[in-house]
Amino acid sequence: MADLAELAGVSKITVSRALSESPLVNAETRERVQALARKHGYKLNVSARNLRLRRSHTVAVIVEMKPSSGRTMWDPYPLSLLGGISQELTSAGYSVLLTTRQGATDAPVQAADGLILLGQGAHQDAVRFYDRLGMPMVVWGAAEQGGDNHIVVGSDNRQGGISAAERFISIGRRHPVFIGNPDHPEMAQRLFGFVDELANHGIKPLLLRRADFTLESGIEAVRSLWERKVRFDSIFACSDLLAMGAIRALVELGQSVPNDVSVIGYDDTPLGASFLPPLSTVRQNWQEGGVLLARKVLAQIHGHSVQSQMMATTLVVRAT
C-alpha cells in the first residue's frame, strides 16, 4: 500500500479509502488509484484489515425453521425478512452470512460481528442456544412477558389474535377453533389475544395443536374435527398455509366458506390473497421487520443502546 501511495502521489489512507470506494476520495483520485492497483496486481487484504480492526463486517443470519415440501425456504417467510435484512446490511457495507441451525458452530458464524435469529424456537430453545455465542444478537419473534435478555423485533401477535376474535364476534360466530402450536412464543401470543377477547364475550375456543404450519396439516386438522363431530363455525389458523388447508378440507366435506365456517389466517401471503376464495388474514410487515432487525444489530455492533420493538398488525378482511 505504501508503494502504491508513492506511485499515486497520495497518502496510504487515501489509497485504502479509494480501494474501498469511499466517498471521502474524489472520483478522479479514486479512479487513478484503482487503475494503478490493477496495473500492479494489488489487492486489498480484507482478512488482514478485519484482523486489525477486529471486525469481520459480516452479520450471520440464522433461519430457525425446518424446511419441508409443504413449507419451503422460498416461502414469503423467510424471504421477505431476508430481503429487508440484506438491503439494510449491504447499504451499510456489511456482508450477510445466511445459514441454518446446523451451521451455528461453523467458524464464519463464530467470527461474525453480530447475529440475527429468525425464529425463537419452541420454548425459546433456539434463543438460549445462540445466547451462548455471546455476540450482539437480535431475534425475530415475540417479546417475553417478564422481559427479554436480548433484543426482539416482531409483530404485535397478541393484537393479531384480538382482531381475529373481534371479527368472529362481530359476524355472530360462537364456536371458534384455534389451529397452531403455542409452544412457539409468537403463536402463544396470538392464542392469548384470541382467548382473552373471546372470554370477554363468554366464549371459549377449542385449541387444536398442530406442529407443522403446512397445507396438509390444516387439511388434517379439519378432518379430525369432522370425524369427532365437533361443533365449530369459525377457524383462526396461525399461518395462511394452515388456513388454506382448512378451507380445502371444508370444501371437500361439503361446507361453504364463509357461510358455514369463517376462516382467518395469519401473515397475508401472496398465495393467500390469490387463493379461491381470497383468504382473510392478519397482516404483518416482514419487509419492514427485516430492516429493523438489521438496524438494531448494527447499532449493537457499534456500541449503541437499542430497545425491542413490536410492529402493528392489520386484519385484512377478504372473502373467508
DSSP E strands in 30-128: the ranges are 58-63, 95-100, 114-118
C-beta of residue 145 within 8 angstroms of C-beta of residue 274: no
Full-prediction pTM beyond 0.85?
A: no
**pLDDT tens, position by position, for the chain (320 residues)?**
889 899 999 998 898 888 877 788 899 998 999 899 888 888 666 555 555 545 689 999 998 876 666 666 667 678 889 999 999 999 999 999 998 877 666 778 888 999 999 988 888 888 888 887 778 999 999 987 655 578 999 999 999 999 999 999 999 999 999 999 999 999 999 999 999 999 999 999 999 999 888 999 999 999 999 999 999 999 999 999 999 999 999 999 999 999 999 999 999 999 999 999 999 999 999 999 999 999 999 999 999 999 999 999 999 999 99
> Alpha-carbon distance 142 to 299, whole Å?
20
C-beta of residue 188 within 8 angstroms of C-beta of residue 216: no
> Alpha-carbon distance 313 to 8, whole Å?
56
Say how many Å lie between the first and final Cα of the chain, rounded. Answer: 66
C-alpha cell at 250: 371444508
Parallel, antiparallel or unpaired: strands 280-283 and 314-316: antiparallel
The helix or strand, by DSSP H or E, that contains position 265, with its residue range, turns out to be strand 262-267
User: How far is residue 237 from each of residues 83, 86, 175, 212, 215, measured CA to CA in Å?
Assistant: 25, 30, 14, 12, 11
